[in-house]
Amino acid sequence: MIGFIFDLDGVIVDTARFHYKAWRALAEQWGYSLSHKDNEQLKGVSRMNSIRKISEWAKVDLQKDELEKMADLKNEYYLSLCDSLGIQDVLPGVLLTIQQCVERGIKIGVGSASKNAKIVLNKLGIHHLFDVVVDGTMVQHSKPNPEVFIQAANKLNVPKHSCVVFEDAQAGVEAAKRAGMFAVGVGFDLLRACDKQINSFKNFDLDDFINEVQMVKK
C-alpha cells in the first residue's frame, strides 16, 4: 500500500504571488520592504509564525492580539485575491496525476500549513478528489514539525514509511523526512535532503515513479 500526500501551494496551485502581495502590503505598514528572498523563508510556515518573522525583520514589537489582528487582515486580502481561482489554475500535470491515482486506488491527501487549504481546493474544484485534507486549522505545529504529514498518514490509514510527500519548500521536505516518509522536491529550487526532485508534474509518469520508489525502499 502506498499513499501520496501533496503540499498545496507551489505543488498543486501557485498562489505564492498572492501571499507575497499580501505579506508585502502588511510589511509596508511597518515601514519594511519585504523582498522575494524574505518571502522564500515564509514558505510552508504558519500564518502566525510568518507574521512573527516579518515583525522581527521590521523591528516592530507587538502584542499577540495585535499580531493576530494583522494576520487576519493579511488573510482577508489574500482570500480576496484568490477569488479568481479556478480549475485552470491547477499546475500542469497535477490534475492528470491525481486522476491517475484515483483510478489506481492510490490513497491521496493534502498536507498544508495553510488554514485556507480547503477554501482554495474548493475554488479549484478538486477538493472532492482527495481522501483527506489536513490543514493549518487541524494541527498545533507548522512545518518543519511533521505533525501535518503524520496526521494525514493516519487519516489515510497508510503507514508513514509507505507515504510519499510532494513538497516545494525546504521546511516541508524536512517535515516529511522527520515523519519517515519519502520526500519529493517539486520545482527548480534545489531542496536539501529530498529523496527525489522533479521540476513539475508535466510529463510525470506515475507508473515509472511508483516502480522507482518501490526499488528505493527495498
Would you please indicate which residues are annotated as catalytic (active-site) residues? 7, 9
Let me know: does 100 contact 75? Beta carbons within 8 Å. Answer: no
Question: Which of 181, 169, 137 has its CA nearest to residue 5?
Answer: 181
For residue 13, the cross-strand partners are: 9, 90
Let me know: does 107 contact 131? Beta carbons within 8 Å. Answer: yes
Question: Which of 79, 89, 138 has its CA nearest to residue 113?
Answer: 138
Residue 151 CA from chain centroid, whole number: 15
Q: Where are the beta strands (DSSP E) in 55-120?
A: 107-111
**φ, ψ at 186 (rounded to 5°):** -115, 125
Residues 6+ away with beta carbon under 8 Å from 119: 79, 82
Let me know: does 79 contact 85? Beta carbons within 8 Å. Answer: no
Q: Give the cell for residue 193.
A: 535532503
